[in-house]
Structure 1
Amino acid sequence: MNKTITPYKYLIYGLLGICLEIFWTGFQSLLYSDYTMEGRTYVWMFFIYGLAVFLEPLQDKLKEENFFFRGTIYMLLIFFVELAAGLMLRSLIGECPWNYGAHGLIYSIITPYFIPVWFVLGLMFEKVHDFLDAIFSLYHQS
């Protein structure tokens, strides 16, 4: 992992994550007949989504594995980070900004409903990783 590029990738993953979350919550509001499609997130999420940069070495190692295995590994790691971050925030600020209520597990910090979401997000971040590597390699050639 190139240490001079890592902060840029962290920034990109963080911004991409919060943008996806805003779109996700905006479209989800349609399920509740909220046609304003208001999307929302927490600033904390930028820092959490930015951590995806640390999946890149694992993504390189898993490249030859089938998509189901890779997606499952990413999903489990994302759940772990979501739980760890939620517990850390709860101890730092007194609460976890997200709460899955009755649908949640472990203090309502994670939910099994997000299994397909985290599975797909992990695979999507693989593509982002490949794209960023291509872009940054062009940058270093010039």
Structure 2
Amino acid sequence: MGKRFIIYGFAGLCMEVFFVGFLSLLKGDFNMVGHTSIWMFPVYGSAVLLEYVHEYLRPFSIIVRGGIYTLLIFMAEFFSGWIFQNVLGVYPWDYTGSPFSVYGLIRLDYAPAWFLVGLIFEKLHDRLISAELLRD
């Protein structure tokens, strides 16, 4: 599980940097500077827990799977954000300025992105199975 935690952590960080850079392009910044926080590594690494959900959801449609991943990711983002802010006193993200924000911890307009991220991690899980990287 440790190797997969690291793989998911780095994959998440890379996706976030790409996403933030793409959003900057949409705002007219052709430098496309992307960034993240190292605090996000354990959050993305915890996607290793989605492997169990993925195995259960295999027979379901892509819409059902993506929807469930979206809900689970929103829950993880909300609770990890709450812990970061209220226990650790750090703010790796703060969505308070968004009209789609829920307590500044999640943004409902990010649902399509989380839908895709869940499916991307599902494909990564399948690749790890085929490469036999699921054993630690």
Both structures adopt the same fold (TM-score exceeding 0.5): yes
Alpha-carbon distance between aligned partners in 1 of 2:64 and 2:135, rounded to the nearest angstrom: 32
Distance change (3 Å), C-alpha of 1:45 and 1:12? same
1:53-64 aligned at under 5 Å gives the runs: 53-64=48-59
**1:37 pairs with 21, 29, 32, which one?**
32
Alpha carbons 2:21, 2:33 under 8 Å: kept = yes
Q: Does the CA contact (< 8 Å) of 1:87 and 1:96 recur in 2? A: no
TM-score w.r.t. length of structure 1: 0.88
Distance 1:85 1:139 in 2: 27
TM-aligned CA deviation for residue 104 of structure 1: 4.1
RMSD (Å) for aligned C-alpha atoms: 1.8
Greater CA drift, 93-102 or 22-31: 93-102
CA distance in 2, matches of 1:110, 1:104: 8
1:34 Cα deviation after fit: 1.3
Q: Does 1:84 align with 2:107?
A: no
Q: If each structure's helix is expressed as a fraction of its own residues, which one has the higher value? A: 1
Correspondence for 1:135 = 131
Which has the bigger relative contact order, CA under 8 A and spacing at least 6? Answer: 2
Q: What is the Cα deviation at residue 133 of structure 1?
A: 1.0
Runs of 5+ consecutive residues of structure 1 not aligned to the other structure = 1-5
Between Structure 1 and Structure 2, how many residues are aligned? Answer: 135
1:84-110 Cα deviation digits (max 9, x unpaired):
000000013324321122334332111
TM-score normalized by the length of structure 2:
0.92
CA separation in 2, counterparts of 1:137 and 1:119? 24
Q: How does 1:115-134 map to 2 (within 5 A)?
A: 115-134=111-130
Is the alpha carbon distance of 1:119 and 1:139 closer, same or farther for their aligned partners in structure 2, counting shifts above 3 Å? closer
In 2, the alpha carbon distance for the partners of 1:71 and 1:138 equals: 22
- Which AA in structure 1 matches 2:56? K
Report % sequence identity.
41
Structure 2 unaligned blocks of 5 or more: none
